[in-house]
Amino acid sequence: MTILDFPAVAPTIFQVIWLILVAVLWIAFFFFEGFDFGVGMLVPFLGKTDQERRLTINAVGPHWDGNEVWLLTAGGAMFAAFPAWYATLFSGLYLPLFLVLVGLILRGVAFEYRSKNESSLWRTTWDWLIAVGSLLPPLVFGVGFANFIKGVPLVEHTTDFGNVVPLVPWVFWVLFDPFTLIGGLLVVSLFVAHGAFFIGLKTRGELHARAQKVGGLVAIVAAVLALAFVVWANLGYFGTLPGQVGLLGIVAWVAGALVVVGLACAWFMNSKDRDGWAFIGSAIATIMLVVMFFCHFYPGLGFNNSLTEVTLDISSASSSPATLTLMTVVAGIMTPIVLAYTAWSYFFVFRRRLSVENIPGAVTAR
């Protein structure tokens, strides 16, 4: 019997718990890697000198590779708890996921190789590659999550080995329409604002002032995009997929409203030179956006089953009850430890602000 043979049934408590845990891991990824991507996109623009660009990079230097682990953890949790969901995504979304991988590779290589040569051309090239590598993942995730709000169409795929997990019958450009483009631009602009507020929180001097100015402008753009996206998503698409729960529709509206309010508060606090509160505002907006996404994903995981008799949802896509029970015990022990360590590293180890005085003298071009 394959996963396709299981009928749609009411989800168990462990299936609901693990969908919530997967959502929490995606929230952590958007929160931590969000400001990381935002800083990366701002590297070529905020820094006017090599010292300032190095200062911008150093603001996320202790964190960027660790922040990417949240994506691996979210993917691993999806694989372990909902293997059919994971397999379907990787069966039908090779090209978008490949673009995410390209972006992550570009960022990682650029961060490591930038300092290997003192040439201005060398370092400027890697700075732009950091920006491009930081742009690709949030753009893809924004467009992708918006498509899942609409409902990704599925078809039943048959091979010589029998039925396998459904595939997504997409041509790449079908991913893009006005709604999904707004989703992509929203995530990009939200991450840029989040990153600018993080730089404002972590630096002093001219770079700090520049980051505040950019953060305030981008926050306004993100708030406008968020308002359009939230209204369109909740009015136009909630309830169009089978099984969606009306109560979660209310939660989606509340979460969406908090995205806009969070960005408005971030802009206001930034204008009052309250860097910490500005960062908290963009953090709330980032977290609530993911909450709204997952309200739309329950229980069908963002799939549209109208083209096939196969049902892929939280029940049919999950692992066995024994697997979910064991995973719940392990997650209950390890998750608080990881969160406590992360909080300790941010609040106590890497709390101090930096300025260009902490960076060695500018290099001479060769």
Give the model confidence (pLDDT) of 144-174 as tens digits: 899 999 888 776 655 444 444 445 555 567 7
pLDDT at 166: 46
Q: What's the rounded Cα separation, in Å, for the pair 262 and 74?
A: 25
Q: What is the tens place of the pLDDT at every residue in 245-278?
A: 888 989 999 999 999 999 999 999 999 999 899 9
Between the alpha carbon of residue 215 and those of residues 219, 251, 279, 351, 365, the distances in Å are 6, 28, 10, 20, 31
pLDDT at 304: 77
What percentage of the chain carries pLDDT values higher than 70? 86
Q: Does domain 7-345 have CATH number 1.10.1470.10?
A: no
Q: Is the pLDDT of residue 353 over 70?
A: no
Cα-trace Rg, the chain = 21
Token pair belonging to 19: 């969908």
The number of beta carbons lying within 10 Å of the beta carbon of residue 332 is 11
Q: Using 50, 70 and 90 to split pLDDT, how confident is the model at 351?
A: low
pLDDT at 161: 40
* For residues 86-101, average pLDDT: 83
Q: What is the tens place of the pLDDT at every residue in 186-209?
A: 999 999 999 999 998 888 888 888
pLDDT at 244: 83
Q: Is the pLDDT of residue 302 over 90?
A: no
- Detail the DSSP E strand segments found in the chain: 152-153, 158-159, 162-163, 303-304
The number of beta carbons lying within 10 Å of the beta carbon of residue 233 is 24
How confident is the prediction for the chain on average, in pLDDT?
84
Q: Which residue type is seen at 133?
A: G
DSSP 35: H
What percentage of the chain carries pLDDT values higher than 90? 40
69 strand-pairing partners: none
Q: What is the tens place of the pLDDT at every residue in 25-76?
A: 999 999 989 999 999 999 999 888 888 888 888 888 777 777 888 888 888 8
